[in-house]
A and B are shown apart, each in its own frame.
Chain A
């Protein structure tokens, strides 16, 4: 049985209070799970002690957790109460999760992204559940004058066997609130879990299938006006003049004006991406009226000159140059090829790659590219705002309220305590909603018209606003000796405007498994804005690397899984270099599981198989795709997926996430692309931006989890990157041609 400390250096992760109407409230730190394993560890950061979540037990026995993490389909709203219910020992149906309002005084680190929700909440939620249970047992022991060791619990009821007494949690909650928090509590053994690991249905399922108002776009307030924006039609352009004479007098229109999202000289943070600093705002009574007036505006735009912005990012203050010009996709491709031919910035070097390549029996060199991608969340960007002289009320979909709240405070000149942000369920995020300029825009518009306003982007506004997944390019080289051993490996990768090898990707497999290794990067500045997109950077480099390894395995005359496993064995037994960012045994584990479950090696007629694996965001994933050709088009007959994300809280919901990532990956590998002509995004709605549809999704997906007792890690992103490699490798088996440039199909319909 694991014992966890609820205090560290006399500071506590937990705090109890009595609820006004009876019952107890236990405040806890969402980040307590970050505590180091040993007492000798470095001094702990202050925020690990900040009470940022609450668990309430009402007199009726209902348990409520206030979750600081917004929901966008990852289903944490079901998984988190399961964790609390497990340790608290209640029927999980008695636990409900409420979305906590955003409040920096009470909650910190409210962020959905990086597949971190469950990973960071795990320890804190367990500790909170176990502590509350312990307090309830102590309260019962006092009330019944019995030793606390004799008090047992089951499904929300306290029992004392010897006296035959029992009481619901609700009955003891008020008394428990008055007791001191124990300094340490026992957590359950993994083998005793009864809720964690058993699939539970989405707690919001009924609301979703009956169309209840859950999303930002559904938000409504008496007297609320509708607002839309017009932004420049091209990157590299800015506003010149607006002629609103026709639009202004159209029915239902209240006002038309220009806004600046940020003040001049404002020092941006990493999430204040400012694609178009000046916009035209149209405000009116109803959506249709505003849409029509927006079309009737006559706006002149003009090219801007180079300018520099200060961005206060993780690496400290940086001066970022935004180049002038109207960019073209063809120009991007040529520039990337040019950069790839020059030496890059060295990120890691092991051994003597140059010499190894010189002495190689075989050298393989291949180049991979991928275009910009739009997130295309199903719910377009929108936000409700009501800004008055003394407060600002905001409601809508956003992933990272903590960053944007500071921005808003600076923009409105209003202190944080007067700003209240309500986080609605998000109709998709995929990274896009970590950039909440639309919230600031809504607030500025509301302030100007002095009324509650809901700002809505049209699909076209949303798709052409930037903040895309960057365009990428990677060149790989591999050297084989006369016995077909991989003796050297090089990757040189870059992108517009960032490299896909940043933040440690250069230390991932096969680094550590090859004696001579070199990773270099480069980047090209652009005025097209980019942002996090499901598994940033990995979403390209993972697929490119896995396609290349497939080709190297073939050149070495080895089975692609066997080839990878041999390298992983090397990394496990005799690793090269330091800082290798993966666990070779867990990496091999998913490959082995996928090999077994897919029936790898048992050839079937007309089934063409591709394999790929990757590690990112703390979890390991391997896919085997079975591809067939139907009516001249490739179709995935079956996707077999193996995942090691430690303990799985809610298996069916986790499988759903993986299915979604697989479908998303196949869609983007086949069709995903945003292209530009003279700065204009060439796609602006779903009639020209090709999205995967039901007839292109796999016919079947089976998801298998590695069973272990390791603390849970993320699920939202890791299954996504390797899909690109698996698709390319399976396509090769059909066509005999390798796919190097995404999208692999594009508008091409028929394969040879």
Chain B
């Protein structure tokens, strides 16, 4: 076990965990931030996506020991009232079916749009290809990203 001071959603948080613990389980088990989901544990589905210094990362394979004092943003900290442009566009297009993959999709889309505010269809597909939606909401996800980019 070891002590880590993390910067999560603008707040400092202390945890005492094994250094190999992936960020995903620190968030879910120790900090009660359950917006990031477990889907595969092997960086293949994107359900666990959070931002590390503004960049989308798969938290299921990111050991807490390498996070250091880099700032972490989870879906709970993406906006105060769920009014981030991507979240707003998400609601406008009523994307969700079961909803399980959606927070990971939103976090990935938000980081992507920040880096590329005017993406082509091909760029959207490439950037979002790591996020599986078992319910098949892909057509809407693409539409949302275009709406959010335009707005």
Contacts and interface: CB of A to CB of B under 8 A. Distances in A.
Interface of A: 72-75, 199, 201-202, 204-206, 208-215, 217-218, 220, 226, 251, 286-289, 376-380, 425-430, 456, 458-459, 652-653, 656-657, 659-664, 667, 685-687, 691-695, 697-701
Nearest to A224: B29
B131 interface: yes
Interface centre among B25, B41, B102, B134 (most CB of A within 10 A): B134
Given A428-B98, A660-B97, A685 B40 contact: yes
Given A208-B96, A378-B45, A686-B44, 19 more contacts: A74-B97, A205-B91, A205-B94, A210-B75, A211-B35, A217-B34, A251-B1, A378-B134, A379-B39, A427-B98, A428-B100, A656-B95, A663-B139, A686-B39, A691-B134, A694-B124, A694-B125, A697-B138, A700-B139
Contacts of A214: 99
Contacts of A72: 98
Interface string B120-143: 010011101101111111111110
A458 B39 CA distance: 8
B147 interface: no
A652 B94 contact: yes
A428 B132 contact: no
For the complex, would chain A's binding face be called helix, strand, loop or mixed by DSSP majority?
loop
Contacts of B114: none
Contact of B82 (A206, A288, A427, A687): A206
Interface string B1-21: 100000000000000011011
Given A427-B98, A686-B132, A660 B137 contact: yes
B29 A694 contact: no
Given A206-B91, A288-B21, A692-B136, A656 B28 contact: no
Contact of A220 (B32, B42, B87, B125): B32
Interface in B93-111: 94-103, 106
B36 interface: yes
A459 B41 CA distance: 7
15 contacts: A210-B76, A211-B76, A217-B34, A251-B18, A288-B18, A426-B98, A427-B100, A429-B98, A456-B38, A459-B41, A657-B97, A693-B131, A693-B138, A694-B124, A694-B131
Contact of A663 (B17, B30, B79, B136): B136
A686 B129 CA distance: 13
B146 interface: no
B37 interface: yes
Given A662-B136, A685-B40, A691-B132, A378 B25 contact: no
Interface centre among A211, A662, A693 (most CB of B within 10 A): A211
B59 interface: no
A697 B136 contact: yes
Contacts of B102: 208-209
Contact of B136 (A212, A215, A660): A660
B100 A289 contact: no
A204 B24 CA distance: 24
Interface centre among A214, A226, A287, A700 (most CB of B within 10 A): A287
